[in-house]
Structure formats: structure tokens, C-alpha cells
Amino acid sequence: MSDPITIVARRAAQRLEAEDGPGLLAQVEVALADREHESAPSQYLDSVALASLIVSIASLAWNIYVDRKKRAVKPTAEMLSRTVRVTLQDTGQSSALDHIVDVVVTETIRAASDQEHTEDCERTSTTEQLPTGLGCGSFSW
């Protein structure tokens, strides 16, 4: 199974790249790789800082989503956004991050939905396959 934080960070970078210029997705890939290797350099250029920020917010949003879901409360985008913003403000982050938070939260909800669908499909074993787009399997005669 793919890492949901990686999925969220990549999707958010793709959406934000149009606003912040080309190269953001590549920088997110670097930040994701640095996340796996603790020996990454601590000094970043602006675009690299933004990429690292996206990965950090994606990680925070995913962790909050999973925590809330464990409490039998499926988080809404609004609740997740508010919790991420409050957490960032508590750590001294600027409210200028609102747009980035919105994009990351949207992608977190989307990734969670995709993951839940995949898990549902893996649990469901049917003898009849549905047409692609209508269910878990592919259409075959």
C-alpha cells in the first residue's frame, strides 16, 4: 500500500504548482526523499521550503484524519482544516498558509476516500465482476 502522506503531498504539489511555478512537484519529491533520510541538509531555498511545508502539512493532516477516524468520527474537510490551522497557529505558523492548508486537506480527504475504497474492494470477494467505474473489479464475460 502506498504511503498516504506521500500521495497527499504529491497531489497538493500538483495543484499548487500552477500558482507557485514549475518545479514544486520536483521539490516535494526531494522533501519526501529527505523525510526518509534524516541526514538531509537543513538549509533550503524558498521553493524547497514550500515543498517541505507541503509534506509537513500533509503528514499533520493525515495523522489528524487517522486519529479522528479511530474515534469513530469520520472527519470532514472543514473539521480537518480547522484542526490543522489551530495546530499550526499553536506552533507559531502564519495564517498565510490557509490556501496551502485547504489544498492539502482536500487531497487528504480524497486520499482517505481512495484508500477506504481500495480496502473495501480487498475485503469484498464477489464472483461477478462489475463494469470498471461501477465497482471494484473490471468487467469481463
Query: Per-residue pLDDT tens for 43-59?
Result: 444 677 788 888 999 99
pLDDT digits (tens, 9 = 90+) for 60-109: 999 999 999 898 888 899 999 999 998 888 877 766 678 888 999 999 99
Q: At what angle do helices 24-36 and 4-20 cross, to 10 degrees?
A: 150
Grid coordinates 479522528 are at which residue?
Answer: 68
According to DSSP, the residues that pair with 135 across neighbouring strands are 132
Sorted by where each begins, the domain ranges of the chain are: 4-123
Q: How many residues does the chain have?
A: 141
Q: What backbone torsions phi and psi does residue 113 show, to the nearest 5 degrees?
A: -65, -45
Q: What does the pLDDT read at residue 125?
A: 56
Q: What is the mean pLDDT of residues 113-130?
A: 72
